[in-house]
Each structure stands twice: as C-alpha cells, then as structure tokens.
Structure 1
Amino acid sequence: MDSDVPYRPLLTLDPDVRFLPVIASIVALIVSQDSVPAIGQESMIASNAVAPASYDAAAAGTTPAADQVCDIGDPRSPWTPGDGVSASAQLRRFSDSIRVGYDDGFVIASLRERDLETEAFPFRLKVNGWGQLRHTASDVALPNTDLNQFQMKRARLILSGNAFLPDLTYFTQFDGRSSSGDDMRLLDFYLSYDIGHSQFGFEKGTFGFRAGKYKMPFTMARWLSGKEFEFSDRSVASTYFDVNRSLAVGLFGESKHTAIPIEWETAIFNGFVTGGAETGSSGNLDDNFAYSIRLQGYPIGDWGDSQLADFESHDRLAMRVGCAFAGTTISRNGSTEFNTPRVVDSGQTFASILPLAVDSYHVSQFALDASLKWRGWSSTMEYYFRNLSDFEGAGIPSLLDHGFWFQLGYFVVPEKLQVLTRWSRVDGDSGTLGASDQSTDEVGAGLAWYLRGNRAKIVTDVTRLDGAPINSSALDVNPGDRGWLFRTQMQFSF
C-alpha cells in the first residue's frame, strides 16, 4: 500500500463510495460469465445480501456510526458470515439461466419460465404478443361471394406494467391484421389505478378506476380474450349484440368475502362500437354518452385459470355466472353510431330501413351468461336482449331482438384434443320495424388440438349459416350469408 495514502477500512467510507467495490465485483462476475443478471438483483444490495468475500466476518452488535472506523472482522460489521460467497453463488446461478447481450442482434434469453416477483416494483414493463393465422373457405349462396384465403386474423403486441406505483398500471395493445392491409392500429390503451389498495389498504382489486380505450363491460363473449376461444372466433349472436370498445372512464372491483366471489365493472363511454372512431369536431360521433355495467360471480367450485376449456379436469363442478346492461341514445347527427346497428335477418343497417324523419332513438341491451366446467367438459351459454324505443320523428313501436349462443366442449384426450359444438340464434322484429319476427341460425362443430394450452394450438371448425345479420371481417361473415364456412386456425402466444 502506498504510504502517502492514509488507510481507511471500507465500511468507514461514504455510502456511495463504499459500494463501488461491490459494483466492481458484480461487473467482474458478469464479464466472467458472459452474461448480465436481472436488474432485480439490486434488492440483494439494498438488503445487504451482496458483499465482497473479504468481509466474511461475524456480525453481532450494532451498525457503526458513519464516522466510526471498523476494522475488517469487526463484530459490528453489517455483513454476516458467508454473505460474499452466498451472493456470488446466487448471481452465478442466475446468470447461468438468464442472458442479456448482443449476438448478431440484441438478445434477452431465459432457460425457463421464472417467477421474478416484480409485482411490488414501482416501475415495470412486460412485453407479450400473440397471433392467429387462419385459412378460410366459404360456400355461400348468391349474390354473396365465396372466400378461399390465408389471413392474419390477429397479430397483437402488448406492452403492460406499472409506473411510479405498483397500483398505477397501464395496458397498451397494438393490432395488425390482414383485413386492415399493412396498417397497425392502437387497439387498447388505458390506465388503471387501484384506489382501494393504494389509499385505504384494501385487498388488491377491491376498488379501482380506469380510463382510456378498452373493452366496454357488457357481454362475456367480448370480455374474453381472443386467444381463449375454443372455436376460431366468436359467434354470430355475440357479435350482433356486441358493444365492443370505446374511449371511456369507469370503475371496477371485486369482493372475495361475500357469499360468492363477485367481480364488477361499470363505464361511461362515447357510444356502442366507437373504439376506432375519429373524435373531435372533425369526427362523426353524436353527443350522447353510453353507459354499461357487468357483474360476474363464481357460485360453485374453483374456476381455475382457463376461461372456457376445462384444462384443470375439475373433479367437482365449477360454475361462473354473469349479467350486464348497456344503454344509449343514438342520434342521426352521429353517423358512426347511427349506421352501426343491424337487423334480423338480412344484416342490413338499421339506418337504411328507418324513415328519414327519425332523428334519434334509444337502445337498451341486457345479457345473461353461465359457464360450467366438469371432468373435461366445458359449457357456456349467453342470452341477449336488445330493445329499440323512443323513436323521435316517426310513429314506430318498440322493437325487440333477442338471441343466444350455446357452446359445448369435451377433452377426448385430456388437455390436448377437444371436440366442440355450438349453436347461435338471433330472433326479432327489427328487420320489419315491428311487422313480424324473423330469425337466423348458426350451427357449428370443430376440433381443437392444444400443443401448449392456449399458448399454442390448432383449431378447425365448420359452420352452417342461415342468413347472417352481421358484417364481420373477424368472423369472415357478410350480411345475408347462407351456406357453409370452413376455418382452420393456428395460434401462438407468449
């Protein structure tokens, strides 16, 4: 040691200087392993779990004062015996399983799925993605045309996490699909704040606030993520009564201590199916807000992680039930909303058959659903009602449409091969402005082969249509379609 430089033990230095050797030792370890440990290891430093091996001394007594000199091995040292060796071993094991660096491109790699325990971190970013490649072939009656194409139905990139607080979360989802050409759209962007947990110490999820663009709380079919479907896509009936996405503010919560566990959500938003509509003075939205609420409960059994298929092979029956309401007033000066609703069974827009004198009308929609899982069986049914009333400008009576979808699945090979069947129906008098009822049916069957649960699967299904009342590029169904629809879809998600 240079005699001109006074000797001071490491633990008597300023805190910022004191940790320089610690940081240097970690960097040396990284270089020796050709890998970078996770940033989450800073918690090891903060908790005094990382120390140079030279400070393997007994730790007894109190921490020394900032200006007090402690020699190596002093019993008042904060380091416990073996800390340095233990920390080095932990870092070596971690760096062996996670690699970050440049390998003909920037790479983040992990040997296995890990629980990083980052939920309590104030800053967090998680990246997910999933896609669905589908072949569709149809054989429908004229004047509609047949289809035979490969399509990218969904190509999603998701950025989610939290910022500043663990209870302040964000969710951003981008969507690219072949029906939109090469365009990438912002499908979802919203912020959620868990007020109950952050401000009052309630259990997480008890009471929160949400704002942005997201799925409106109404049908269970829309609440489901597309990667959870058993068939290739949603049913005709659920699409007909759909509220979809919008710009909104809302509240959400759950209660685990009531007679049955309950989840709920409510929102005020721009209007039905207005998610991608242009806003502001240049847009075509009316000035009427829409509103909705959804309640969901689990009266029997432990439902499990999967939303539809019984991957858990429940020995005891598990049940999920829900109900919802949505309402709004639709005005002619908002062409986006006015031209959206369709009628049974032609699939024409409601606006195209209304008298020109009609300036506005009111829409009320209701939904009820129930789902079951038991020994590889899965069953779901959702029933809808839509009432159109209070027509201003013409003497039109209240119109009622209603419909449902019922779906049944069974794993013939547990967790791997599932057989499926579905019936969907829409009935009502909207297409005749109350003169008579009309109806349309959708009947389908399919197979699902799960390679890795819903993360990787192949689904093939065949559907018979009897006059479709919707126009949906997602379902490959056009207004008035009568005939057969064949779909085979590959899905991958991470």
Structure 2
Amino acid sequence: MGIRWHHSAVHCLAVLALTVIGSGSGPILGAETGDLNTQSGSTRLAAEPDAENVDQSDLSDAMSRIRDLEALVAAMQAESSNQVPLTLGTGEEPPSQRVPQPDPSTHHGVYDSGWTWRPHTSQASPFELTVGLHNQFRYTGFARDEATSVDSAGNVRELNNRNDFNINRGRLVLSGYAFDEDLRFYSNIDYSTVTSNPIQLLLGWISFRMSDRLTIYLGLGKLPGTWEWTETSRYTLGADRTMATTFFRPSITAGVWAKGKLTDNVAYHVLIGNGYNTLSLQASELDTQLAYSALAWWEPWEEFGPGFSDIEEHRSPAIRLGHGLTQTRNASSSNADPAAEQTVIRLSDGTRLIEPNAIAPGVTVNAFDIWLYSAHFGIKRRGFSFSSEVFLRWLRNIESDTGSRLPSLIDQGFFVQSGVFVIPQTLELFARGSQVNGEYGSGEEVSAGFNWHLFNQRSARFTFDVTSIDDSPAQQSRTGYVAGASGTLFRSQLWTFF
C-alpha cells in the first residue's frame, strides 16, 4: 500500500487527538466519561477540575485505542511488504510469534572426516554431501647401486638416481547419499605429479545397502584380491605399500561388487569386472573376458579396524585372518596385438610378460590366465601391531603370437611388518620387509622408519623410512619402485586428510 509509518507517529497523533478537543468539538472518548478540554496548554477532564482524580477507566480506554491504532498501522505495513497482516488484538500488543518467520534450513554444515552438508533430522530432505581432500606430499631420494640392468628379454634398462619433491597422491573425494540414506555415492578424483594423467577419475560408484549382510556397488572400484591393496594408501605402515604387494596386486576396473558380513565377525568383498587392470581403458581396448575377485576375513575378537597401525590402542588382542582369490583370462585384441590390460603383468625380474623374447627368444606372449591367491594375518594390541601376507600367482594357458602353448609359471612372495608406539597415539617406530621369487629371478626389500601422527589421529601423519632394495621386480610411479633397480630408497612425506 506504500505506507511506511513509524509507531512513534501513532503516539504523536494520539496526543494531538487528546489535546485538540477543547475548541468546541464533541466528546471523543464517550459521553459517559465526560469531555476532554484544554486549559492553559495542559490536558484535563472537563468533568473534573483535578487531573489526579480522573477516572482511570477513561485513561485505560484511551490507551487501549492507541494500541489498537498501532496494531492497525503495523498490519498495513506488513501488507505493503507482501507479508501476512498481524492479527489485531483487543487492546493487547500482538505477540512476536504471530509474525511469520522463514522456514529454517533443512541442512547444516559440520566437519565429520570431511566437510559435510547434513540434514537436521531424518525427516528433512534426504540428501547428504561430504567433501574431503587427501594430499600426499613426498620427498624421494634414491641412490642406485648400478647404472643399468638387463631384463630377461635382453633389454638394457637405465636406472636413475632421484632427488625430488612430488604430490604422489592427491584426492578430491565427494561422497554421501541421495533420496534414501541407503542409496550412496562416491567419487574420487585423483591428481598427482608422478603419473601420465595428472587429473583423472580414480574411483567412483553408486551403492545400495540392503542390510548389514549385503551392500551392492556399481562403478569403478578395486579388485579386492589382496589385503594391503584394499586398504587405503593413507593407512599403510610405511610411506607406501610394500614391494611384494606392488608386484602381485590386481588393480582397478569397472564392474559390480558386493560387501558385507556373513556373520558378526566374518566379512567379505567380491567383484566381477572388466579385467585385471582396466582403469583408463576404453571398450575397444578390452578383451571379452571378465575378472573375478574375492576377499574374506575373520575377526574373532575385537574389531581390527582400518590400516595396520594400532593407534586405537586395543586393550585386548584384535586379530584378522583372511584370504583372497582373483582369476581372469587375458586375451589379445582382434588385431593380434597384446591387449592393453596385459601390460601390468611382470615376470619375477621385472620384465613385462608380453615383452618380445621375455619368455624365450623369438616368442611373444599373446594370451594367458591369471590365478592369484593371497592369505593374510594381523594382530593389534596396546599400540603394537604385526601384519603379514603371502602371495601365490599362477600364469596358465600361456599362448604365444604363433598360437603355441607355453609352460605355466608360478611366482610367490610375501611381506611382514611390525610397528610399536613409543609415544601413545603419536610416535610409532616400524620395520618391514618383502620378497618376490620366481623362475626368472627374485627381489627383496628391507625397510625401517617412523610415523608421527599429528593431533593423535590418522588424518595427519608424517612418515620417514629408509629402504634397501635388491633387484626390484616391481615398478610403479607412485610407490617409487623401479623394475631391476637395486639401491637405497629414502622417502619422507606428509599425509593429510581434511
């Protein structure tokens, strides 16, 4: 309505109405109470010369009408602002709760292992989003024993010293649920300075929880064939996964998988996917053989918890015992070139299996079956931890590019590691070793170092370790292992997760 009166204006009008009635105008407040007149600039009742004897009911009635006028003006203001008008009382000032208030937000922001946008109650909008940031900043130094090495295919490999800083793993993680708390999503965007793809989608899926016994996942995930591989790289005991795990483990693929518990203390993780290592491959680069992988473990007493360090300080022994199996057929592409997913498989001296002449002179492997079996054991108690895993890998039905069948190959390996907190939940000393053996050679490592857990929790950790390597069969840019290399590896890093 365009009216913008202040309540003080109402008071002024009321006083004016009380003071201007002496000029012959009739009674304003009712004849039964007498007339109001003005004398010598003061206000008093015409029926009574003494103002102190004025009937109080007349004054109360006047003030009541003033308050009604104030309420009317407030209602007009509310209407002009497209608000619901105030309910007019009968002489009482309208309570504040009568003024319409905006609905409170259905969500609020909190920090819960990441920045979380969460509903206030279960009746609120069914949506939650958590944004987390992992960052692994590492210094790597490597002093080589030899400048070159020769693989089983006769190739001479140049080995370099290292002295550099890198972001080995950076992760922007988005997770939460939508529509229903059991319908969840996860997206892990990786960035690094040590890979050919500095930014890529590393993991991503949608999951639906059926019960504690079963959750179904669809998307891009890890083949769960070995224990240390399925644990996040943030929770390794040293700066990274062991050499043996790096050599044997499967990788990432698109597929369908399930996780849950068969009983209260037996858990499982099974997956069917495109292949052994198909993270960045397109459909034209895949063969038609699927990969099958499973991991199951038993925790008979306390819950073992994440990772390998006992930062939780279990008061009684927490034991984990389990095993895993992965199987797939790797076939060549239609143009007889080795399939792209085959390049991750190496012989025990670090030579790629599909490298020409790797198995024998004049022979190139074109297809093969992989069977990988692992078994693991771990224990935690009062800041002490011990963990180990053994690996057996069979390469069967090996075919050459000429179609001939080659003998099967068996490789085996293991890792052992142990840590103890010398300052509870803060400073942990550790040592570990791993080994790989096979027909084409063997390699091993021995390592020692410490973890400094900042803020007494896992989400911020400084690690330093020194590793002696002898003929590494493993190679991966993130871990720092180079096939055929021997020497001393120094790593110091800060892992943070916000």
Residue aligning to 2:412: 402
- Distance (Å, rounded) in 2 between the aligned partners of 1:246 and 1:359: 21
- Distance (Å, rounded) in 2 between the aligned partners of 1:160 and 1:416: 29
- Distance (Å, rounded) in 1 between the aligned partners of 2:295 and 2:467: 30
Residue aligning to 1:312: 312
- Distance (Å, rounded) in 2 between the aligned partners of 1:364 and 1:182: 29
**Preserved CA contact (<8 Å) 1:469 1:479:** yes
Residue among 212, 216, 240 paired with 1:209: 216
- Distance (Å, rounded) in 2 between the aligned partners of 1:339 and 1:241: 13
- Distance (Å, rounded) in 2 between the aligned partners of 1:238 and 1:357: 26
Structure 1 position 233 matched with structure 2 position 233: no
- Distance (Å, rounded) in 2 between the aligned partners of 1:265 and 1:9: 67
Residue aligning to 1:340: 344
**Preserved CA contact (<8 Å) 2:115 2:131:** no
Instruction: Give the gaps of 5 or more residues in structure 2.
Output: 1-70, 77-84, 90-96, 149-158
177-186 vs 160-169, greater mean Cα deviation: 177-186
**TM-score normalised per structure 1:** 0.73
Which AA in structure 2 matches 1:292?
S
Offset at residue 425 of structure 1 (A): 0.4
Structure 1 position 297 matched with structure 2 position 309: no
Offset at residue 287 of structure 1 (A): 1.5
Residue among 131, 146, 165 paired with 2:180: 165
- Distance (Å, rounded) in 2 between the aligned partners of 1:442 and 1:234: 12
**Preserved CA contact (<8 Å) 1:118 1:124:** no
| Structure 2 counterparts to residues 109-258 of structure 1, below 5 A | 122-140=126-144, 141-143=146-148, 144-180=159-195, 183-194=198-209, 196-197=210-211, 205-257=212-264
**Preserved CA contact (<8 Å) 1:242 1:273:** no
Q: 1:364 to 1:285 in 2, by over 3 A?
A: same
Q: For residues 158-194 of structure 1, give each alpha carbon's deviation from its aligned partner in whole angstroms, at most 9, with x where no partner exists.
A: 0000111111100001111111378311111101011
Residue aligning to 2:32: none
Q: Secondary structure at the match of 1:301?
A: coil
Residue aligning to 2:327: 327
Residue among 482, 489, 492 paired with 1:478: 482
| Structure 2 counterparts to residues 63-102 of structure 1, below 5 A | none
- Distance (Å, rounded) in 1 between the aligned partners of 2:88 and 2:262: 56
Q: Secondary structure at the match of 1:135?
A: strand
Structure 1 position 387 matched with structure 2 position 454: no
Offset at residue 130 of structure 1 (A): 1.3
Residue aligning to 1:416: 426
130-139 vs 245-254, greater mean Cα deviation: 245-254
Residue aligning to 2:369: 362
Structure 1 position 467 matched with structure 2 position 471: yes
Q: For residues 400-451 of structure 1, give each alpha carbon's deviation from its aligned partner in whole angstroms, at most 9, with x where no partner exists.
A: 101111010011111111111011000112x3xxxxxx22111100111111
Q: 1:174 to 1:348 in 2, by over 3 A?
A: same
Q: For residues 384-403 of structure 1, give each alpha carbon's deviation from its aligned partner in whole angstroms, at most 9, with x where no partner exists.
A: 11001122333422211011
Structure 1 position 23 matched with structure 2 position 102: yes
- Distance (Å, rounded) in 1 between the aligned partners of 2:115 and 2:478: 32
Note the aligned Cα RMSD (angstroms).
Answer: 2.9
Q: 1:227 to 1:337 in 2, by over 3 A?
A: same
Which AA in structure 2 matches 1:310?
D
Q: 1:158 to 1:119 in 2, by over 3 A?
A: farther
- Distance (Å, rounded) in 2 between the aligned partners of 1:114 and 1:359: 49
**Preserved CA contact (<8 Å) 1:357 1:394:** no
- Distance (Å, rounded) in 2 between the aligned partners of 1:219 and 1:109: 32
Residue aligning to 2:354: 351
- Distance (Å, rounded) in 2 between the aligned partners of 1:444 and 1:162: 41
Q: State how many pairs are aligned.
A: 386
- Distance (Å, rounded) in 1 between the aligned partners of 2:329 and 2:380: 38
Instruction: Give the gaps of 5 or more residues in structure 1.
Output: 11-17, 27-37, 42-97, 99-107, 198-204, 432-437
Which AA in structure 2 matches 1:136?
T
Q: 1:378 to 1:20 in 2, by over 3 A?
A: farther
Q: For residues 441-475 of structure 1, give each alpha carbon's deviation from its aligned partner in whole angstroms, at most 9, with x where no partner exists.
A: 11100111111222111100000111111211111
Max Rg structure? 2
**TM-score normalised per structure 2:** 0.72
Q: Secondary structure at the match of 1:227?
A: helix
Residue aligning to 1:372: 379
Residue among 427, 445, 452 paired with 1:449: 452
Q: For residues 316-357 of structure 1, give each alpha carbon's deviation from its aligned partner in whole angstroms, at most 9, with x where no partner exists.
A: 111112211100111122521222200112x11011114646
Q: Secondary structure at the match of 1:179?
A: coil
- Distance (Å, rounded) in 2 between the aligned partners of 1:242 and 1:340: 10
Q: For residues 1-42 of structure 1, give each alpha carbon's deviation from its aligned partner in whole angstroms, at most 9, with x where no partner exists.
A: 4499998699xxxxxxx9971327x6xxxxxxxxxxx6437x
Q: Secondary structure at the match of 2:194?
A: helix
408-417 vs 310-319, greater mean Cα deviation: 310-319
Q: 1:19 to 1:468 in 2, by over 3 A?
A: farther
**Preserved CA contact (<8 Å) 1:466 1:483:** yes
- Which of the two has greater strand per residue? 2
- Distance (Å, rounded) in 2 between the aligned partners of 1:273 and 1:303: 29
